[in-house]
Amino acid sequence: MRLRNIPGSREVIAENEYVVHEEQSHRGQWKEVFGNDHPIRVEIGMGKGSFLMEMARRNPEINFLGIEKYSSVLLRAIEKHEEAPELTNLKFIRMDAEEIEAVFAPGEIDYIYLNFSDPWPKDRHAKRRLTSDRFLARYEKLLAPEGGVTFKTDNRDLFEFSVEMAKECGWNLQVVTRDLHGSEFAEGNIMTEYERKFSELGNKICMMRIFPPEKRENQEV
């Protein structure tokens, strides 16, 4: 059975305390959802959520929101979160990233993580890639003044496309590495589920850390 078709996942999600419901009505008020004014970082396409759980554990003064399109995948993240109820700084939203501007107000997101985003290899689907110029323009609006984006992938074609997009859109490329694990940036790196899987197969992991035009480049992430 395909994971996304697990029966009952929508019902479980509808009632779960870690999932934010009616996400569009929180636009501009996300700090109230967490009950504090800590910065909010978002992973788009978080999958089963292990990266964000570790981030939330290591950074209790930061709030983390995981966005995932498929209920059945989100269900796995919920199951893990239930084993760590102390992580009150971590919540999930089931939504398609295409809707992101309806869900967040300009400047509301402190930082964005894109980990092993879907490659959409066909040219005619390029605009669906989460690092396309269309998405970069959205992130530029939604990021706080010091905000940026970190993107990791083992897909070299997608990575080169993303580097080109960032350059074309005038973003500052603070870090670009095609061998993250062999670089100085490996220290403190939290591996995602896909990152672990693909690096065990011997694939090199690419990473870029980029900031929109005019934004500060030196935030620690």
Closest contact distance (angstroms) between CB of 36 and ligand SAM is 25
Closest contact distance (angstroms) between CB of 214 and ligand SAM is 27
Give the span between the Cα atoms of 80 and 62, in whole angstroms: 19
Q: Map residue 155 onto helix, strand or coil.
A: coil
Binding positions for ligand SAM, 146-185, rule CB under 6 A: none
Alpha helices (H) along the chain: 9-15, 30-34, 50-58, 71-82, 100-103, 133-142, 156-168, 193-200
> Is 133 labeled as catalytic in the residue annotation?
no
Stretch that binds ligand SAM, among 69-77, 80-88, 168-176, 182-190 (CB under 6 A): 69-77
CA 170 to chain centre: 21
Residue among 46 and 208 whose Cβ is closer to ligand SAM? 46
CA 218 to chain centre: 19
Candidate residues 20, 41, 42, 45; the one interacting with ligand SAM per rule CB under 6 A: 45
Residues 37, 96, 110, 118: which is the catalytic one? Answer: 118
Q: Map residue 72 onto helix, strand or coil.
A: helix
Q: Does 116 bind ligand SAM (CB under 6 A)?
A: yes
What are the residues binding ligand SAM (CB under 6 A)? Answer: 44-47, 67-70, 73, 96-98, 115-116, 118, 192-195
Point out the residues that are catalytic: 118
